[in-house]
Structure 1
């Protein structure tokens, strides 16, 4: 029997996981959740056996249980194969006394690939026989956009529109999006930051008049952001996989606890770790690492979420976020499914820009989560030290997490730092952190210099961008995003 999903803000509508994946976001603006993540979860022994693909089948089959076993197996086979340059998919490697979980071996060199190579497969199965055409609508702070474009490019019956903050992503991130191939893709830079883009995307989803006009074309909107449960669920797999790798290596014994430190802005990556913990993975603490946009650090320390603060452009742009959408799902679970409380807190955030959780909820938060932050200077120093001391090259997001993890006392528990991007996606900032001048150098010159310095080859999918044709150069206002999407639907589904 299938476990149904409903909004974080009400239980008025129940949907299957297939419907939740296609809709992306609930009609009331909430995010889709199921009441009990643990109920019926596979045994830990089963989740630790086999390969990454075996674990993915079990995790997906549990959390998306209206898919058949054959459907899940087909999705896993299509998503995780030679498109990843490591047979382990997400290998664990040492960094000092700790461990890196390398999540960037996919086609766009970022952790988003683990989910966004899977989501198109889940959507393909979910819409089988549906007949409707789907426009994937995505806001990105840097990595999600390219991963969504790559995952959905030329998928039949599907289009994808991506918005990124103009001037607030790295040169390589911008080129990855601007040069994307495919007849069904559209890319727009917006005049604003990621929060502006994400907030407007949510308003577009709630626009009933637009939905009616698109319905006349047999088009519906869906999301590739981590607000989509089909984006979130695949990320749970690599927490189990990291644990399994450490057990297999003899580093830990089954049942030992692990700490994970996660660089995050939208809270999706670390929420997947919480799902893994609810499903029985022996996780002691999930350490949330923030950059100068430290709204999550303050929330975890105090229970106050306040987006009314300056927005900082940092060298870890994928974390430059002040409104962390997936936190809403955590509030649902910490409050034992209190939809009224979640709706009230989200309403206060929308109207007043802040909220305070009850003290008992804050206590439960502290049972599973810790936090820390790093400014750009600390991030650069961590990149330099990791290279000089360990001969490990970190991107700025991973370096934020490494700095935060280094600030937490060791007490005998093994610790895993999630490494979310290949350092060559941020060649200029990594090169500068190593003490080398970058003035007057474009992203590719920095890439070449970094390769000469370290002896490490950049991934071909990044170095080849220097010869790729730029197809997209549109810059739109936040208010113009709705028209951009509607025009893209008319053009791509003509």
Structure 2
């Protein structure tokens, strides 16, 4: 057995990658990690010669060792066969003097699609091996919800429940979720913000009453957030893919270092890049780009993580996060896999809302990670200026990554474009000086300025019926999940 994964908070319990995928989170509250990750060194020459799909199989074969190559090939074929509008999956485009990696050509027009078309395939294989069923519980700040719903819709032996913060996602994100069809999907608005919902979901995974209800029906509670290793590892592929495209375009020589700017709130997307770095991706710097909720900027500058601050609702809602779950995995690796240290930090965060890391550890992190943030006013200015200068339209998340990358001294710089501008058409139009009150009309109007037409999945939203109308309190989440398990999995 390939029992290579363990918890960030306890090194004693070893499990396989299939177990890590269907469990999602460790019973001690930690996240699953592979301590020997840096011993996996990928061959860049091979990567530069292969297609995206071939690279996905090659990279995942190293990280999920108890999946057979045939299983992975089938999973990748199902995920990327005909679901992306670009044959490159994640094409790279030069904008000004920065390279923009477009991650939004999937079915829901967000970067989450790259992983959430693949995770359901990996999950199905893992569940089959264990003769289990699964209920996916996911909190979303906007994009994960729809991508997970689309990925898991009507997948055998699984159900999915998504919680989004009511009135704190964009109109388009809201309509994407509440119009979702499928016999095994449930969507709830919750009264609170994303952090409230995510903290409760983490509690539910470990709740003995809920686990008992699930066990009665042979159901595992698991996650589609990037706390699930099966959601995180597919994202590593596009970091190598960007590198491959720069080599093949003659911008760099094999072995040259490049830098990445990543708009992030939960630290999952940039962590996937760090995993790539550990496995041989030549990286000079990662820039962690934040919005007005700049808890990560403050941490990377001072070594103090402090979520005791005002939660600010912004025009980049997917980054409106004050508890960056995946930072826990970074702390684990930079502390030489010191699970006791990580557990101490996480306990302190739970009890006081903050923790501080030692100066030497901060220095180690800062040698590879830099950071920056801009607020809504600046974000709109970046969208407007970029359009004027380059004729390119950026969404409010991608614009943040673009600006932080553009301001950095390192070149070549790859900045990650995480969503289609059509998902945030009103704010994008506003930024280029055009007003439109109706979100659906705004998408039509944006077609006059953007290179591509409105993606099909977004264009049809106006005509779809709203199927999920429930808005509940955080305290109701447990009972609603219990009820749904009984409704969905009873014989």
TM score, norm. by length of structure 1: 0.98
Residue pair 1:49, 1:55 contacting (<8 A) in 2 also: no
Residue number in structure 1 paired with 2:419: 421
Show structure 2 runs of 5+ residues with no match: none
Identify the match of residue 468 of structure 2 among 467, 472, 487: 472
Residue pair 1:24, 1:227 contacting (<8 A) in 2 also: yes
Residue pair 2:98, 2:406 contacting (<8 A) in 1 also: no
Residue pair 1:108, 1:147 contacting (<8 A) in 2 also: yes
Residue number in structure 1 paired with 2:304: 304
Query: What is the CA deviation profile of residues 181-205 of structure 1, one whole-angstrom value per residue up to 9, with x for unaligned ones?
Result: 1100000000000000000000101
Residue number in structure 2 paired with 1:225: 225
Structure 1 distance, partners of 2:303, 2:297, is: 10
Residue number in structure 2 paired with 1:382: 382
Secondary structure in 1 matching 2:220: strand
Residue pair 1:179, 1:469 contacting (<8 A) in 2 also: yes
Kindly state the Cα deviation for residue 47 of structure 1 after the two structures are TM-superposed: 2.2
Secondary structure in 1 matching 2:400: helix
Kindly state the Cα deviation for residue 455 of structure 1 after the two structures are TM-superposed: 6.3
Structure 1 distance, partners of 2:451, 2:161, is: 37
Residue number in structure 1 paired with 2:176: 176
Matches within 5 A, 1:25-424: 25-410=25-410, 413-424=411-422
Residue pair 2:265, 2:290 contacting (<8 A) in 1 also: yes
Residue pair 1:378, 1:403 contacting (<8 A) in 2 also: no
**Residue 433 of structure 2 is aligned to residue 431 of structure 1:** no
1-10 or 295-304, which moves further after superposition? 1-10
Kindly state the Cα deviation for residue 74 of structure 1 after the two structures are TM-superposed: 0.9
Secondary structure in 2 matching 1:14: strand
Structure 2 distance, partners of 1:48, 1:41, is: 15
Secondary structure in 2 matching 1:162: strand
Residue pair 2:97, 2:406 contacting (<8 A) in 1 also: no
Structure 2 distance, partners of 1:442, 1:40, is: 50
Structure 2 distance, partners of 1:52, 1:133, is: 30
Kindly state the Cα deviation for residue 456 of structure 1 after the two structures are TM-superposed: 3.8
Residue number in structure 2 paired with 1:447: 443
42-51 or 297-306, which moves further after superposition? 42-51
Residue pair 1:386, 1:393 contacting (<8 A) in 2 also: yes
Residue pair 1:110, 1:421 contacting (<8 A) in 2 also: yes
446-455 or 102-111, which moves further after superposition? 446-455
Residue pair 2:9, 2:28 contacting (<8 A) in 1 also: yes
Residue pair 1:41, 1:62 contacting (<8 A) in 2 also: no
Residue number in structure 2 paired with 1:487: 483
Structure 1 distance, partners of 2:416, 2:451, is: 23
Secondary structure in 2 matching 1:38: helix
238-247 or 36-45, which moves further after superposition? 36-45
Query: What is the CA deviation profile of residues 150-175 of structure 1, one whole-angstrom value per residue up to 9, with x for unaligned ones?
Result: 00000010000000000011111001
Show structure 1 runs of 5+ residues with no match: none
Secondary structure in 2 matching 1:41: coil
- Cα root mean square deviation, aligned: 1.1
Structure 2 distance, partners of 1:476, 1:211, is: 21
TM score, norm. by length of structure 2: 0.98
Kindly state the Cα deviation for residue 409 of structure 1 after the two structures are TM-superposed: 2.4
Query: What is the CA deviation profile of residues 261-290 of structure 1, one whole-angstrom value per residue up to 9, with x for unaligned ones?
Result: 000000000000000000001011000000
Kindly state the Cα deviation for residue 41 of structure 1 after the two structures are TM-superposed: 2.8
Residue pair 2:127, 2:134 contacting (<8 A) in 1 also: no
* Misfit runs of 4+, over 2 Å: 129-132, 452-456
Kindly state the Cα deviation for residue 451 of structure 1 after the two structures are TM-superposed: 1.7
Residue pair 1:349, 1:355 contacting (<8 A) in 2 also: yes
Secondary structure in 2 matching 1:13: strand
Secondary structure in 1 matching 2:136: strand
Residue pair 2:98, 2:405 contacting (<8 A) in 1 also: no
Residue pair 2:3, 2:14 contacting (<8 A) in 1 also: no
Residue pair 1:195, 1:323 contacting (<8 A) in 2 also: yes
Structure 1 distance, partners of 2:433, 2:284, is: 37
Structure 2 distance, partners of 1:204, 1:334, is: 29
Residue pair 1:3, 1:34 contacting (<8 A) in 2 also: no
Structure 2 distance, partners of 1:223, 1:455, is: 35
Kindly state the Cα deviation for residue 129 of structure 1 after the two structures are TM-superposed: 4.6
Query: What is the CA deviation profile of residues 286-305 of structure 1, one whole-angstrom value per residue up to 9, with x for unaligned ones?
Result: 00000000000000011100
Secondary structure in 2 matching 1:458: coil
Residue number in structure 2 paired with 1:6: 6
Query: What is the CA deviation profile of residues 30-73 of structure 1, one whole-angstrom value per residue up to 9, with x for unaligned ones?
Result: 00001011223332222222111111111100111111111111
